[in-house]
Each structure stands twice: as structure tokens, then as C-alpha cells.
Structure 1
């Protein structure tokens, strides 16, 4: 069946494909940045040029599949299928397989230097933990599957207070997961990140990150790391759980040589296993924050923006006061130790325009700051709270919810 198409000489053609093969074609076409119809056209052209038939493909359960192809190509393809003694469905499946085999999935890009993202704000309750977990989850999603991502025009719609545009389903784009190997470090003695992801804090009488930072590690730090076992992360998402002994970290660091480098010394041994390490900082401006800032500094030969500080705020006045205190401490570290510390951006969390003028005007104030700039706006919705109650990662609990698609956009924004 063919239907004329107004776009050049192409016609709509309808046949059938197994759903698994169609999905593989859809993902691979996105990975290579081309339309599915162009991939099918290239596959049919290559199949027709073959000197012999390919091994049969199981097309049982094939479902309707429509695309646009040049009319002459489709007519010639139908004739070739008859000459070769294969059904149109089988010929199409083989053509798609030819294209897939000649266009393998691109390898996941690995950073030359492990990326270190320090997620911070000494003000409690702004949602640092949720942003840390969600960003790490978005970075670790399967690169061979498509996930919905909120495109950047969402920011403009929010600023214009146009909720209809902000919720426009066309503002979503299906993109392959990022496939990164991610370590989440719960650097907060309260252990919210650890508990939210369904794990128990490390026991006080055992080993911990605090012990390793103080030079008293009892075993390899890698022995403390646990995996977040959800299929969509494929073993790429790990957690270094918290221990309540971190309440004593500042006291213990006071007697440690080069204490600002203590976190780096502890994590160096596990860095080769990961592409990205995210630090969920405590609500503190003490020595632990100094150590986290130092860890996120730009290293020699590291490109700007590969690592740095990501600040989580809310659209209300007290966040502005806390922000000034935090950036003042970071600037002191920069100047006192001659460090290059990059700001990766601001994340406005728990945003809800229905809260009126304070929320919308505060958002505009954050957007007016150009360094660091706003790189994410995360809504205050029920799915995050439900995921915490279920002790599951948000992107596994509700992968298509508004918060999930916004967190994927944030992960891509800070990965540019």
C-alpha cells in the first residue's frame, strides 16, 4: 500500500515489522542522528545490492509499520522480493538488519578525567539529595534505550508563566540514555541519600568514608560501595553510603595534614571505575565543605566545566541569603588556595508557579544571574515523595514523570 507524500518524491508505504526490530531501528536512528525513513531507505538500497539472500529473520508477531520512501525504490524492492522468493515482510526485516549491522551503536563517550560534581547548599530542605540522586540516575540510564527529555524551551515557558506551553508534550524529545558509570557519594551524616535509595547507613563501629578521609581506613573503600539494582541502570549506578560518624568529620579533619585534600585522597582509589562522581554535601559551611570544594576543583589538563559545583536553590528569599554565604566560602577557597573552581550552574528545585509572586519573581531573579546560570528547574510534584516512600530511584519509579524528564535535561546540560 502506498500513499503520495507532499515531501518530494516519497510515498507512504505500509508493511509489517517485528516490534523488537522496529524498536532497535528507532533507537539506532536517533543515536546516529538520522530519520528512521532514511535508515530504511539506506537498508533497502543495500539489501537490493546484495548478491545472495540473507538468513531468515523471525518475523512472527510482526506489527504494522509505515514509513516514507521514494516510490521507485519501493516498487523495485517489491519486485526483488518476488525474484528472491521472500515475502515483503521478510525482505523489509532483512533490509533493516543490514542497516543496523552496518551502523553499530556509537560507543558511550567516556571523559578523559573523571567528572566530579559537588552538589551543595548549606541551607537544609532545598532538595540537594533528590537532585543528586536524580542527576546520577539520568547519567546512568541505558544508552541503547530511548528516554523522554525536556527540551530547553521549557525554561522560557516557565519564565513567561505559560503553564500550557510548559506542559506541552511536544517539548519532550526521545533521546538515548547517557550510559555513564556513576558513583553517588552520600557525604551527609544524616544519610538521606542512602535511605532514599533503599540502603542502610554504614555501622558506626565499621569502616566509612570518614575513616578514610582521616587516614584510618580499615579496608578498601571500594568494599563499602553498593550497587543500585534497577534494570534501567544496568549495574552502572553505585552508592557510597553515609555513616553517622560523619558528624565528627570536621573535628577529625582539624588534625589531618592538608585536610582540604582529604576527600580526594579517599576517593582517588575508586575514580578509575567511574565516569562521574556526584557528592551530596551536608548542609554545612565547615571543613567538610572545604574538602568537597577542593575535590571539585579543575585539575591540570582538565577542560573547564568538566567538574565543579552545582548549587541547589529554591524560588524563595531565604535561598538567596544562603547562596551568598556559600559562594563567599567558595570564593575564599578559590583565592586562598589559588584554585580553579567552576560553577556548573544553579538548580531551582521544588518550583511551583501556583505559589504566586514570591515563587515567580524569585525564579526570575535566579535566571538573571549569568554566572552561575540556571541549568535546571525541577517542579514540586508528588512522584519524588512517592519514590522516597517506596525507597526507589525516581527515574525507575516514575520514568516519564515531569521531574524525571527535567532531571534528564539537567544531566545533559551539565554534561555539555
Structure 2
């Protein structure tokens, strides 16, 4: 039987939903590995056939947007009129129906080794490591995971883009904790990132102005192995407090990068690909050259330290097919690698640039834009 609408032809719809319902939808969709737009579509399909539905309290609702097939959207509006209910109520009932029909899966066994560790790295600068690591961390936190986002880049772009100040040179910092030069607990340096549906689940460890000295100090350390284990030792005390630790790495192949790669290795108590590295790239040749250098560094560390480091996948950033053959052929080349896979393609849009300009998280500034949806897709795929 032919569907009354084309699922590939979707249009954006906006409704007012209470925060609790909105959050529950995002968490459940993430738990079940389903796109939010597909969950809402299934809910609306079921809602059209359902009767005697309970009214959902939509008071205090705030903006929620998703994409529905064009034909289904028209049917929804027509049915809402027939039932003498508001469009907001129709969407709310549809979501409630889907949630009730798709219960949360049973909890996973408790983690043995603490937080899952995801680092975002590439030797090339300007590929979007900062924006993607921040967006994915927000998406993980949005689904209820306690997430720590670490600015491990001496340039401190992540810290500044989120509206925070870098630590002064005299202050305690992650770098000083790594080198054994700081007093107190590292947890004292964490700051909550507020706003959106991730509030109370996302924290930032800001960068420090002296972080550029880290590579040199690691290089001159008397300990043979400190440059690989320093980050892990510094963060060890935080791991049981978080579900995910996300690290925005510097664009370099130095000792700092070695510590980040070692930190995301597969530990003895972990399943494969529980932790690992995500590699942001552009659809152009210089990103491929940079990846080759990063790959060699990873392989050298694997051999030298006898460890496994999972390459979780590429995220192709700032993609615009209108750039022609260079962009499209480069995307094909990334996809053809196969392993690691292309996790997602981030379209070239203004949302992220605007978020940086106003110093707000992407999922606060443009929570229902295409770029935000891609961040949720990456989060879902690395957490599966």
C-alpha cells in the first residue's frame, strides 16, 4: 500500500511544548537510537487512529521544532480542527502516545571504568573541532548524560566561545594538575554550562593561558611515561562523576595530543569503541593530508604503548555541495574509507557562527536547526 505522503519530503513545524515533555522525548529517542523527527512522525501516525486520548498539560510551553512529512503535516492540522483541539495539543498528544508506546529500555549494567572518554582531534586547524566537540557534548547532556567538556587547546577558543574567561597563568589549571604543580581538587575548576535542555548535565573545564607551555614541560619531564599518562592521572578523580568526558584537542601532533590519545584508549574493562577519537574534517585535500599525519601518530602510539585506540569516525564539517566537484568528490573519498565511518555531515550554515558571535551554546542559540540535529546524530552514534 502506498503511503499518503512522501517521507523524504519534509517541512519544518513548530509547536509550544512543556519542557518536561520535550526533554523526555529527546532522552527516549536517544535511548532507542531514533531520530526525533521519526519518533514524532510515528507518534502522529498513531495519534490519527487513536481515540479517547488524555489531554496533555501544555501550559508554560516553549518552542519546539521538528520536521514532518508534508502530507502528514496537513492531515494533522485538519484532524486537530475536527477534534476541536489546538495544534499544540495535537503534537503533544502524539508525542505522549509515542512515549507510552516506546518505553525506555532496561538500564545498562553499571560502568566498571567510569566515564566514556571521547576526544575530538585533527592536526589541521580550522576544521571545526571546537564547534563539533561542544555541540556533541551538549547533545549528550541534553539526553540526561552527565557530561564534562574539556578545553584542552592552548588557544582557548572553546572557553571563549561559550562566554567564559581563561584561567590566569598564576591560577590552578588542568595543565598544572597534569604536571603536579597545582594544589586542591580539579573539580573546583569546573563551571556549569547553562541553558537549553542540557542544563544541570553539562560542565566545562576551561583552558588556561599557560597551556601552551604544556608540551615543552612534558618533553623535559624525567618520567619516561608521564607524557602519555598525565591527562589520565589528572582526570581520574572526576571519572566516576560523569557519563562522558569530551576533550577538545589542540591542532598539533605534540605530546599533549599523545596524552589525549592515550586517555581515550580502550581500557581492559571496556568494550571496543566505548571510548575513542572522533576526527572532524573538511571536504578538501588538506584535511586528508592532516588525517594521514594523525593516523600515523595514533599507530605509533598503539605500537609503542601496546594499546588499542578506537577511531570512532569522521565528521565532515562545513559541507556545501554548491562548492562543486572538490567538495562532492572529497565527501565521496571520506565515505569510501569505510572504517572509520563518516558519522555525519555538518552543513555550511550560519547557526554555529552566530552562536559563537553571541557566546551561546549552539543547542541554545539554534536548538532546532540542521546543525543542531547533526550534533544529536553524532552523539547518538558514538553512544550506541
Q: Structure 1 residue 370: deviation in Å? A: 1.3
8 Å CA contact retained: 2:18, 2:58: no
CA distance in structure 2 between the partners assigned to 1:228 and 1:295 by the alignment: 24
The aligned residue for residue 149 of structure 1 is none
Which runs of no fewer than 5 residues in structure 2 stay unpaired? 5-15, 33-38, 61-76, 81-94
Q: TM-score, normalised by structure 1?
A: 0.70
In 2 relative to 1, CA 103–318 (structure 1 residues): closer, same or farther, beyond 3 Å?
A: closer
Q: Structure 1 residue 65: deviation in Å? A: 11
In 2 relative to 1, CA 241–43 (structure 1 residues): closer, same or farther, beyond 3 Å?
A: farther
Q: Structure 1 residue 216: deviation in Å? A: 1.4
Superposed CA offset, 1:150-198 (max 9, x none): xxxxxxxxxxxxxxxxxxxxxxxxxxxx221110110001000001111
Superposed CA offset, 1:246-283 (max 9, x none): 10001111215222100000000011111011110001
Q: Is the counterpart of residue 213 in structure 1 residue 178 in structure 2?
A: yes
Map 1:92-103 onto structure 2 (within 5 A): none
Q: Secondary structure at the match of 1:118?
A: strand
The aligned residue for residue 183 of structure 1 is 148
Residue 384 of structure 1: which of 340, 344, 352 is its match? 352
Q: Secondary structure at the match of 2:210?
A: helix
Q: Is the counterpart of residue 198 in structure 1 residue 166 in structure 2?
A: no
In 2 relative to 1, CA 236–65 (structure 1 residues): closer, same or farther, beyond 3 Å?
A: farther
8 Å CA contact retained: 1:343, 1:372: yes
Superposed CA offset, 1:97-156 (max 9, x none): 999999986687675541101100111111100010011011111xxxxxxxxxxxxxxx
8 Å CA contact retained: 1:134, 1:404: yes
Aligned residue-pair number: 326
Range with bigger deviation, 263-272 or 406-415: 406-415
Q: TM-score, normalised by structure 2?
A: 0.75
8 Å CA contact retained: 1:182, 1:274: yes
The aligned residue for residue 86 of structure 2 is none
CA distance in structure 2 between the partners assigned to 1:323 and 1:135 by the alignment: 21
Residue 285 of structure 1: which of 247, 253, 275 is its match? 253
8 Å CA contact retained: 2:147, 2:244: yes
Which runs of no fewer than 5 residues in structure 1 stay unpaired? 1-5, 7-17, 48-55, 68-95, 142-177
Residue 245 of structure 1: which of 210, 214, 217 is its match? 210
CA distance in structure 2 between the partners assigned to 1:203 and 1:21 by the alignment: 38
Map 1:13-412 onto structure 2 (within 5 A): 27=25, 35=43, 111-113=111-113, 114-141=115-142, 178-254=143-219, 255=221, 257=223, 258-259=225-226, 260-412=228-380
8 Å CA contact retained: 1:314, 1:350: yes
8 Å CA contact retained: 1:29, 1:36: no
In 2 relative to 1, CA 390–107 (structure 1 residues): closer, same or farther, beyond 3 Å?
A: farther
Query: For the pair shown, which has the larger CA radius of gyration, 1 or 2?
Result: 1
In 2 relative to 1, CA 66–127 (structure 1 residues): closer, same or farther, beyond 3 Å?
A: same
Q: Secondary structure at the match of 1:244?
A: coil
Cα root mean square deviation, aligned = 3.7
In 2 relative to 1, CA 57–212 (structure 1 residues): closer, same or farther, beyond 3 Å?
A: closer
Q: Structure 1 residue 234: deviation in Å? A: 2.5
